[in-house]
Amino acid sequence: MSYVKEAFETVKRRNPGEPEFHQAVAEVLESLEPVIDKHPEYREARLLDRIVEPERQIIFRVPWEDDLGNIHVNRGFRVQFNSAIGPHKGGLRFHPSVNLGIIKFLGFEQIFKNSLTGLPIGGGKGGSDFDPKGKSDREVMRFCQSFMSELALHIGPDVDVPAGDIGVGGREIGFLYGHYKRLKNATEAGVLTGKGIPFGGSLARTEATGYGTVYFLSEMLADKGFELKGKSVAISGSGNVSLYACKKCQEYGAKVVAMSDSNGYIYDKNGIDLDLMIRLKEIERKRIKEYKNFHPEAEFGENCRDIWSLKCDVALPCATQNELNGKEAEALIENGVIAVAEGANMPSTAEAAKLFQERKVLFGPAKAVNAGGVATSALEMCQNSMRYSWTFEEVDQRLHKIMVNIYTMTKNAAKEFGMEGNLIAGANIAGFQKVAAAMMSQGIY
């Protein structure tokens, strides 16, 4: 048995009942066979055994009181996966689906995503099975304060720097940071990213993941002689990533024809009215079907996954993991899709990703495509360290350059190891090489 297969079998044995984590590890390790062959010292140092095992897994109780005086208990998680190149960095996800396996999958992906940015940040992830939907601001505040009471024991600007993710936006980050300050009696702005602008946040952070997705997409298309202008685009989701991917697509001259939420999708042949979508989803927090009240000519479908049955040139899955399966990939291919770029974390199943590659659809993998968010979080950390703020344009220029560099590194790594055009392998290899070199230099720990 090869060392790569041996390492994966160990992961499955030691982490039962965690399919998302298994899926993420399998995708990465499969790409690393030629790297291990070229570097037998990695096998001797049991590097893969170490990189698939988190440095630390923290699980804790989060009790909180609702507005009626009822006591609830949720479970909190923080997985500090790898700090070889810098402090742990990764978001917090508040969603009923959160469990240890999902946090580990996200934290493992974060190692390589963060490495690709070229910035000194390691991998981590956290969250809770708490659902902020339908909760009052006071209820969310009480939960966040209880959550931070434990999390504060394990984080710091040079230790572990959380950010937002699904269910954790500016409101939640504000409550978390406020309670951290109270507990520490110190203003450590660099301990959390995604903060509000008045207290250490970075301009362009809100837009960063969506913008970065489109910057990567544009590079991927241009490298093959295409341009985004004039292309029809379907974007799953209607949260932060989706909305700002839509905005940047429109700025590049593309027509975004569809978006979705967990209750369905909207198809507007005239192009999505972005201002309306932002008002419905970010301000009024309504369901996407309300779009039809303002644009009756648009079509609403009750199954959000049917968005992939629509005809489009470009597909941007930006909602959640495994939202696009093999059958849906076939539908996109039959309808003429030329490019898919993953704005969410691991939104395509392994079967779907394989189909896109086999059928010569340009495919940008999540850890490369959506790295713009964490890259700009690292830029926020940099500004916090300097006690200084850059303009929106300065941050956006840095983000654009980082995404172009990520595409170039990913493409070149795939070519170097005989897998030209395979950006999944390229991203995994390029991300791994930097972390591996750091781990080898730092001894066995």
Q: What is the dihedral of CA 353, 356, 361, 367, to 10 degrees?
A: 0
Task: Give the helix ranges, DSSP H, for 344-391.
Answer: 350-358, 366-369, 372-386
> Annotation-wise, does 113 bind a ligand?
yes
The phi-psi region of residue 332 (left if phi > 0; otherwise alpha if psi is between -120 and 50; otherwise beta) is alpha
Starting at the edge strand found earlier in the chain, the sheet holding 255-261 runs 299-301, 264-267, 255-261, 232-235, 314-316, 339-341, 362-364
CB-based contact 348:324 (threshold 8 Å): yes
Handedness of CA 437, 120, 21, 16 (dihedral sign): positive
What 3-state class would DSSP assign to 325?
Answer: coil
Token digits of residue 133 = 């939907």
> Annotation-wise, does 225 bind a ligand?
no
Nearest partner of 370 among 172, 186, 232, 235, judged by Cα:
235
What 3-state class would DSSP assign to 105?
Answer: helix
> Annotation-wise, does 133 bind a ligand?
no
CB-based contact 106:367 (threshold 8 Å): no
Which residue in 5, 38, 104, 125 is the catalytic one? 125
What 3-state class would DSSP assign to 142?
Answer: helix
289 is catalytic: no
Q: Report which residue type is found at 105.
A: F
- Report the distance separating Cα 369 and Cα 214, nearest Å: 8
Hey, which residues does 62 pair with through a beta bridge?
Answer: 74
239 phi, psi to nearest 5 deg: -90, -160
User: For residue 120, what is the DSSP state?
Assistant: S
> Annotation-wise, does 292 bind a ligand?
no
> Annotation-wise, does 110 bind a ligand?
yes
Token digits of residue 276 = 């309306």
What 3-state class would DSSP assign to 148?
Answer: helix
> Annotation-wise, does 89 bind a ligand?
yes
What 3-state class would DSSP assign to 75?
Answer: strand
- Report the distance separating Cα 78 and Cα 161, nearest Å: 11
- Report the distance separating Cα 328 and Cα 309, nearest Å: 7
Token digits of residue 216 = 């990567």
- Report the distance separating Cα 164 and Cα 202, nearest Å: 13
Q: Annotated binding residues for NAD(+), as ranges?
A: 209, 240
Binding residues for substrate: 89, 110, 113, 164, 377
Binding residues: 89, 110, 113, 164, 209, 240, 377
Active-site amino acid positions: 125
